Amino acid sequence: MTGDPLASPAMVVATSAQIRDPALASDGADYLLGWSDGACIIGVPGGCPPFRLLAARLRPDGTGIDAHPLILEDGKSFSVTPSLTWSGDRYTAVWSTGQALHGARVTREGVVQETGANGGTVVQTSSPDQLTPLLVTRGEELILITKHLGVSGFSVSWEAASVASSAPLNVLAAGPRTVLLNIPYSNSGSLTAAVSPAGFLVAYDRPTPDTQATGGVSRAFFRILSVLRRRRAEGG
């Protein structure tokens, strides 16, 4: 990589009342940008309508391919925190609606697939926890890592499930799931992941028990995890 950081001018790829939670993935040539679209005015009756989940295909120079954004979820719920990955022959998108995760697929040609009847295929539910997704792809394996925030706000955990990347997204809803990390008595912590030939890697921060009470330290950790045992494409 050469040149100065951020040497090119910023490209405006979408305009809306409020754009939040951008996520980006590439097929090796072009890009798919996803975001949550909606404005929320706290304390005003009717001031927080459902958010849509939109996406746009971009060329390598950042210019848009589509005349209008692709609609992954059209305001049937509060769709936030999308995660995107290229999963071999299509993009996969998963996002949160609070206590459930929904997903859809987008082809190179911009066709939205597996949208479901109520705005995205349900890939996970967990009441009363608040869920946040993270997608990674390893070869022909699609891995979904889910952050759980306890309803009390004082427990955080992450778990992972995987399927063949060609499998229907609803196969993810059946599990099984592997617990990666659990932080009791905490409402903070973050985790990211990447793939490797040996499996996949996670890096996370974990606060000490007295971090919130006394301003103690948080520590960053790095682990290599073996390949998850995934469900077959036919759901077996």
CA 39/CA 189 separation, integer angstroms? 27
| Contact yes or no for 168/103 (Cβ under 8 A) | no
Pairwise CA distance, residues 84 & 34, whole Å: 7
What the block records as the tokens of 173 is 């809803």
Cα-based angle 226, 232, 236 (whole degrees, multiple of 5)? 120
Q: Residue 8: pLDDT band by 50, 70, 90 thresholds?
A: low
Reported as a single tens digit per residue, the pLDDT across 105-138 is 999 999 999 987 667 888 988 778 889 999 999 8
CB 55 within 8 A of CB 69: yes
Size of the chain in residues: 236
Report, as an integer, the average pLDDT of 76-82: 85
Model confidence over 21-49: pLDDT tens digits? 899 999 999 999 999 987 666 665 665 67
pLDDT tens digit sequence for 178-193: 888 887 776 667 888 8
The two three-digit tokens of residue 93, written as one number: 């998108």
Is pLDDT larger for residue 214 or for residue 123?
123
**What is the DSSP-derived secondary structure letter of residue 171?**
G
Q: Which residue has the tokens 């090119």?
A: 8
At 234, the pLDDT band (50, 70, 90 cuts) reads very low
Provide the 8-state DSSP code for 231.
B
Model confidence at 233: pLDDT above 50: no
Q: What angle do CA 222, 153, 104 make, to 5 degrees?
A: 70
* pLDDT, tens digit, 9 for 90 and up, residues 191-209: 888 887 777 788 877 766 5
